[in-house]
Amino acid sequence: MDYRRFFEDAIDQLHAEKRYRVFANLERIVGKFPRALWRTADSTREITVWCSNDYLGMGQHPAVIAAMHDASSRMGSGAGGTRNISGNNHPLVELESELADLHNKEAGLVFTSGFVSNEASISTIGRLLPNCLILSDELNHASMIEGVRRSGAEKKIFRHNDVAHLEELLKAAGKERAKLIVFESVYSMDGDIAPIAAIADLAEKYNAMTYIDEVHAVGMYGNRGGGITDQEGLADRIDIIEGTLAKAFGTLGGYITGSKTVIDAVRSYAPGFIFTTALPPVIAAAATASIRHLKVSQEERRLHQRQSQLAKDVLALANLPVMESQTHIVPVHVGDPELCKMASDRLLEVHGIYIQPINYPTVPRGTERLRITPTPFHSDELVVELKEALVEVWTALGIPFAKDNLPVIETNTRVVTLAVSKAGG
Ligand SMILES: *Cc1c(COP(=O)(O)O)cnc(C)c1O
């Protein structure tokens, strides 16, 4: 066995498929969001980031940084162990009650990441329920797929956001069998929203449990930032609401909220919760400060929606192939992995704009894209600058504009026809 050769071949395969990933060396600058330093071997340049999941810039919010400073000066850096052994800490307990309140649930449980929260919770619930059938949306995030896989439970995949298909599967399973429906509220690559009320209706009708991933909605939607379930008044109709502290809340960690009993069961049985060091008090305190701020402040959400809509409109008017999206996420279709990487490189090198290419397996082949995430800090001027840079890159690389592209785009990656009509085509 030539070990080295084996790994080289694995990497070469990614190069051959033009989807080898390269990460830019960036350093964010407090007070200048969304600006960052980009370091290469021979230079350091200030650039604009257009693909951050720090959706509201809370990672640099003064209240969040102050909470972090305060906690570190009082409690130091680490947690000191797993929560089982010696790592339970007051800021974490406080954070969990803040989260339970955010989603109107009895209890919350914090994990070291959103990935771990999904993997640990779904696998544990699926394993505890006897002969459980898990019904999973086909576009669910990798962390949910991992949870489903590790549960050992039987699974059925329903077509994306297709309630008729979900009902077929629920009906076939029967009312008596234990069933868990797992889905997301906002799907982060297309920016579409699940039919949550209809799924809750079906869950009631067929006596199934529901588990929703609100990672791309918490902080950003709802009057208190409780996500789409908050916005639509549906939190009470979903059994488990999962979220992250790492995106709109700007820190790190993941969580679930639900009834006391389910939360206690996951706390007591999930290896991914039990056998790993707790989130440090500094992070917990910062997350709590962020959640508390966004529970009362509407300004970030208002500006976020405004700048996202502006970006969609401005890019579409320039005939760029903006894909349909119901949310703050602005995907722009490229349709080829190599072109997608080249577009990203050119944006950075020529225009000082950072947008990571999104290629297979994150999205289906043929739907490669640039995924743009405007924040409240992307000014109108920056939006116009982005539009001009994209038009230059699309022209230089010969990437199809919206009009050329329309007939061949299908499924959930439809190019918005609005872009064409608005552009007068
Ligand atoms: C990012 C993401 C996660 C994982 O959250 P982290 O806190 O980054 O680990 C889970 N679900 C979805 C849909 C995500 O996009």
CA of 115 to the centre of ligand 1 (A): 5
Using a 6 Å cutoff on CB, does residue 118 contact ligand 1? yes
What pLDDT sits at residue 369?
97
| Paired sense of beta strands 240-244 and 209-213, if any | parallel
Q: Determine the Cα–Cα distance for residues 95 and 92; give it in Å rounded to an integer.
A: 5
CA of 171 to the centre of ligand 1 (A): 31
Contacts 24+ apart (CB under 8 A), 87-91: 87/277, 87/278, 88/278, 89/278, 89/281, 89/284, 90/281, 91/281, 91/282, 91/284, 91/285, 91/288
Using a 6 Å cutoff on CB, does residue 367 contact ligand 1? no
Please give the structure tokens belonging to residue 254.
């993941």
Using a 6 Å cutoff on CB, does residue 375 contact ligand 1? no
Using a 6 Å cutoff on CB, does residue 137 contact ligand 1? no
At 251-263, the pLDDT tens digits run 999 999 999 999 9
* Ligand 1 atom index nearest CA of 252: 7
Q: Determine the Cα–Cα distance for residues 203 and 212; give it in Å rounded to an integer.
A: 12
At 1-13, the pLDDT tens digits run 899 999 999 999 9
Using a 6 Å cutoff on CB, does residue 211 contact ligand 1? no
Using a 6 Å cutoff on CB, does residue 246 contact ligand 1? yes
CA of 363 to the centre of ligand 1 (A): 15
Catalytic residue among 247, 312, 341, 387: 247
At 85-108, the pLDDT tens digits run 998 999 999 999 999 999 999 999
Q: Determine the Cα–Cα distance for residues 255 and 257; give it in Å rounded to an integer.
A: 7
CA of 390 to the centre of ligand 1 (A): 28
Average pLDDT, the chain: 94
Average pLDDT over residues 384-401: 98
pLDDT over 70 for what percent of the chain? 95
Q: Determine the Cα–Cα distance for residues 198 and 184; give it in Å rounded to an integer.
A: 14
What pLDDT sits at residue 404?
56
CA of 74 to the centre of ligand 1 (A): 30
* Ligand 1 atom index nearest CA of 253: 7
Q: Which residues, in sequence order, are bridge partners of residue 38?
A: 26, 45
Q: With 60 as the cut, is the pLDDT of residue 416 above it?
A: no
Helix, coil or strand: residue 39: strand
Identify each DSSP E strand in 185-329 by its residue range.
Answer: 209-213, 240-244, 254-258
CA of 9 to the centre of ligand 1 (A): 29
At 311-326, the pLDDT tens digits run 999 999 999 999 999 9
Q: Determine the Cα–Cα distance for residues 320 and 389; give it in Å rounded to an integer.
A: 11
Candidate from 192, 211, 244, 256 with most ligand 1 atoms within 8 A of CB, to mutate: 244
Whether 247 is a known active-site residue: answer yes
Confidence of residue 423 (pLDDT cuts 50, 70, 90): very low
Confidence of residue 417 (pLDDT cuts 50, 70, 90): very low
Q: Determine the Cα–Cα distance for residues 272 and 185; give it in Å rounded to an integer.
A: 24
What pLDDT sits at residue 403?
78
CA of 397 to the centre of ligand 1 (A): 32
What pLDDT sits at residue 18?
85
The region of weakest confidence among 110-119, 207-216, 395-404 is 395-404
Query: Which residue has the least CA distance to atom 6 on ligand 1?
Result: 114
Specify the DSSP element, H or E, that contains 116. Answer: helix 114-128
Using a 6 Å cutoff on CB, does residue 143 contact ligand 1? yes
Using a 6 Å cutoff on CB, does residue 222 contact ligand 1? no
What pLDDT sits at residue 411?
38
Cβ neighbours around 124 below 10 Å, total: 23
Using a 6 Å cutoff on CB, does residue 121 contact ligand 1? no
Using a 6 Å cutoff on CB, does residue 141 contact ligand 1? yes
Average pLDDT over residues 109-136: 98
Candidate from 51, 110, 115, 213 with most ligand 1 atoms within 8 A of CB, to mutate: 115
